[in-house]
Amino acid sequence: MSVKNISWDTLELVIFDVDGTLYDQKRLRRKMLVALIKHYLVRPWRYRDLLILYHFRNEREKRGGAQFEDLYLQQFVWCAEKMNVPVTKVAKVIEKWMFNFPNRYLGQFTYPGIILFFNVLKQNKILTAIYSDYESADKLNSMGLSADIVVSSTDEQVNTLKPLPNGLNYIISELDIKDKNNCLFIGDRDDLDGACSRQAGIPFLLVDKLAANNDFYEELSNQLIISAKK
Q: What is the DSSP string of the chain?
A: --GGG--GGG--EEEE--BTTTB-HHHHHHHHHHHHHHHHHT-GGGTHHHHHHHHHHHHHHTTTT-B-TTHHHHHHHHHHHHHT--HHHHHHHHIIIIIIGGGGGHHHHBPTTHHHHHHHHHHTT-EEEEEESS--HHHHHHHT---SEEEETTSTTT-B-TTSSHHHHHHHHHTT-S-GGGEEEEES-IIIIIHHHHHHT--EEE--HHHHTTTHHHHHHHHHHHHHH-
pLDDT for residue 87 is more than 80: yes
pLDDT for residue 193 is more than 90: yes
| Residue 1 confidence (pLDDT) | 63
| Residue 2 confidence (pLDDT) | 65
| Residue 156 confidence (pLDDT) | 94
Better pLDDT: 227 or 144:
144
| Residue 119 confidence (pLDDT) | 96
For residues 95 and 112, what is the distance between their CA atoms, to the nearest angstrom? Answer: 28
Q: Is the backbone peptide bond immediately before 112 cis, with ω within 30 degrees of 0?
A: no
| Residue 3 confidence (pLDDT) | 64
- Give Cα separations from 59 to 39, 72, 190 (angstroms): 24, 13, 20
Confidence category of residue 214, pLDDT binned at 50, 70, 90: confident
Which domains does the chain possess? Answer: 3-24+110-229 (3.40.50.1000), 27-105 (no CATH)
- Rounded average pLDDT over 57-67: 93
pLDDT for residue 4 is more than 70: no
| Residue 147 confidence (pLDDT) | 97
pLDDT for residue 224 is more than 70: yes
| Residue 213 confidence (pLDDT) | 85
Percent of the chain with pLDDT over 90: 89
Other beta carbons within 10 Å of 173: 10
| Residue 177 confidence (pLDDT) | 95
* Of the listed ranges 20-34, 48-62, 146-160, 200-214, the one predicted with least confidence: 200-214
- Rounded average pLDDT over 64-78: 94
